[in-house]
Amino acid sequence: MKCESETVQLLENRVSIRSYSDERVSDETLEAALRAGCRAPTSSNIQAYSVVVVRDAERKQKLAALTGNQEHVAAAPVFLAVCADLSRIARASEIHDRSTEGLGTMEMGLTAVVDASLAGMAIMLAAESIGLGCVMIGGVRNLPLETAECLGLPPRAFAVFGMCLGWPKARPAQKPRFPVEGVVHAERYDASGCDRVLLRYDGMLSDHYDAQNRPTDRASWTRRVADDFSLPRRTHLRESLRTLGLDFS
When pLDDT is cut at 50, 70 and 90, the band that residue 120 belongs to is very high
Is pTM beyond 0.85 here? yes
Asked whether residue 189 falls in the same domain as residue 156, the answer is no
When pLDDT is cut at 50, 70 and 90, the band that residue 1 belongs to is low
| pLDDT for the residue 248 | 80
Q: Is residue 248 part of a domain?
A: no
How much is the average pLDDT of 160-179?
Answer: 96
**Other residues' Cβ atoms within 10 Å of the Cβ of residue 204:** 16
Asked whether residue 215 falls in the same domain as residue 129, the answer is no
Asked whether residue 53 falls in the same domain as residue 134, the answer is yes
Q: Is the pLDDT of residue 189 over 70?
A: yes
Asked whether residue 21 falls in the same domain as residue 73, the answer is yes
Percent of the chain with pLDDT over 90: 94
Which residue range(s) make up the domain with 115?
7-172
Range in 52-66, 81-95, 202-216 with the lowest mean pLDDT: 202-216
Asked whether residue 14 falls in the same domain as residue 72, the answer is yes
Q: Is residue 36 part of a domain?
A: yes
Cβ contact 124:40 at 8 Å: no
Q: Is residue 127 part of a domain?
A: yes
Tens of pLDDT, residue by residue over 142-163, are 999 999 999 999 999 999 999 9
| Domain count within the chain | 2
| pLDDT for the residue 216 | 87
Helix ranges, the chain (H): 6-13, 27-37, 57-66, 71-75, 87-95, 106-130, 144-151, 194-211, 222-228, 237-243
